[in-house]
Amino acid sequence: MAIKTVGVIGAGQMGNGIAHVFALSGYDVLLTDISQEALTAARSTIEGNLARQVGREKIAQADADAAVARIRTTTEIADLGASDLVIEAATEREEVKAKIFETLVPHLKPQAILTSNTSSISITRLASRTDRPEKFMGFHFMNPVPVMSLVELIRGIATDEETYETCLEVVEKIGKTASVAEDFPAFIVNRILVPMINEAVYTLHEGVGSVTSIDKAMKLGTNQPMGPLELADFIGLDTCLAIMNVLHDGLADTKYRPCPLLTKYVEAGWLGRKSGRGFYDYSGETPVPTR
């Protein structure tokens, strides 16, 4: 089926990035959130990011203006009912996502494709909470969405071929590259990445190295653009912990046990950049290690 209108659920970091990319690629986008303040902030972020792309001569001003004009916002999830494709990008909690689908499904047209930007939760299980498991799949973008070129496409056990082919075509049209993953906990990227971050936290927890030495060693020793603790702060420590718990619960292997220090930071509300403090303190001009 031809996709022309896209609904995006959640106006946070991932949601506004997804809206940005689709609008810039010519799709009409309806962005929804329970908070009008979040929608206002998302539009401001999108406009700022588009202006940055214009400034770097990545896109023309006319394209940026057209993209902004294609984005509408609403606090009413039922308004997404006319969308051809819906991408859920709400918080990484299964009960929240299930409730969203329960509310949305009665308003969707029969042929609409429903997807989730989940980074770790079972697509088959999420699909089973809807009326269209054959038209449901994982559509996992990397952060920051306008910059990162990869999209993980995850088929649930019931996802049909037409849905997969349509989503694959959409990924190509928005200028991204698809990597197809099977529906196992955390898929490909986070199955490999987040345990590495967790191991870095264990290395800190056990006193093998400081925050600075761990990040410096991984940046210079493995040529990574960010150290694992810096990256954890960027992702959000609560998200890292949630993914580790999905891996630990879903695969029942002790190698996926979340580090107690990671749990402690989340319990303290030290979630990384978004809370102003994680493995680094972001209250000043330059991030300062907290350990």
- Closest C-alpha among 81, 86, 90, 95 to residue 33: 90
Q: What is the mean pLDDT of residues 231-242?
A: 95
Supply the pLDDT for residue 1. Answer: 73
Supply the pLDDT for residue 92. Answer: 87
Active site residue 223: no
Give me the helix-helix angle, 189-205 and 211-222, nearest 10°: 140
Supply the pLDDT for residue 72. Answer: 98
Q: What percent of the chain has pLDDT over 70?
A: 100
Supply the pLDDT for residue 161. Answer: 97
Q: Judge whether 61 is annotated as a binding position.
A: no
Q: Is 8 helix (H, G, I), strand (E, B) or coil?
A: strand
Amino acid code (one letter) for 257: R
Q: Judge whether 199 is annotated as a binding position.
A: no
- Rounded CA-CA distance 205/135 in Å is 44
Q: Which of 119, 153, 182 is at the close of a domain?
A: 182
pTM for this prediction? 0.90
**Which domain covers residue 270, as residue numbers?**
191-289
Together in a domain, 9 and 91: yes
Q: Tell me what the pLDDT averaged over the chain comes to.
A: 96
Together in a domain, 106 and 150: yes
Q: Which helix (H) or strand (E) holds 152?
A: strand 150-155
Together in a domain, 152 and 59: yes
Active site residue 140: yes
Answer yes or no: are the C-beta atoms of 137 and 123 closer than 8 Å: yes
Q: What is the mean pLDDT of residues 197-223?
A: 98
- Rounded CA-CA distance 29/44 in Å is 15
DSSP-derived secondary structure for 14-36: HHHHHHHHHHHTT-EEEEE-S-H
Together in a domain, 128 and 230: no
Q: What is the mean pLDDT of residues 130-137?
A: 97
**Residue of 116, 122, 190, 198 marked active site:** 190
- Rounded CA-CA distance 10/175 in Å is 22
Supply the pLDDT for residue 70. Answer: 98
Q: In this structure, how many other beta carbons lie within 10 angstroms of the beta carbon of residue 263?
A: 15
Together in a domain, 132 and 173: yes
For residue 249, give every residue at least 6 positions away whose Cβ sits within 8 Å of its Cβ, in sequence order, or none: 185
- How confident is residue 243, by pLDDT bands cut at 50, 70 and 90? very high
Handedness of CA 57, 224, 138, 266 (dihedral sign): negative
Together in a domain, 27 and 165: yes
For residue 178, the cross-strand partners are 151
- How confident is residue 79, by pLDDT bands cut at 50, 70 and 90? very high
Q: Judge whether 218 is annotated as a binding position.
A: no
pLDDT exceeds 90 at position 179: yes
Question: In this structure, are strands 28-32 and 5-9 parallel, antiparallel, or unpaired?
Answer: parallel
Q: What percent of the chain has pLDDT over 90?
A: 97
Answer yes or no: are the C-beta atoms of 32 and 74 closer than 8 Å: yes
**Residue of 119, 120, 122, 198 marked active site:** 119
Active site residue 37: no
What does the pLDDT look like over 91-108, one tens digit per residue? 888 999 999 999 999 999
Q: Judge whether 250 is annotated as a binding position.
A: no
What does the pLDDT look like over 146-160, one tens digit per residue? 999 999 999 999 999
**Residue of 16, 49, 140, 198 marked active site:** 140
- Rounded CA-CA distance 201/55 in Å is 38
Report the first-to-last Cα separation within the chain, whole angstroms. Answer: 53
Q: How many domains does the structure of the chain reveal?
A: 2
Q: Judge whether 33 is annotated as a binding position.
A: yes
What does the pLDDT look like over 182-203, one tens digit per residue? 999 999 999 999 999 999 999 9
Q: Which of 149, 182, 215 is at the close of a domain?
A: 182
Q: Judge whether 15 is annotated as a binding position.
A: yes
Active site residue 152: yes
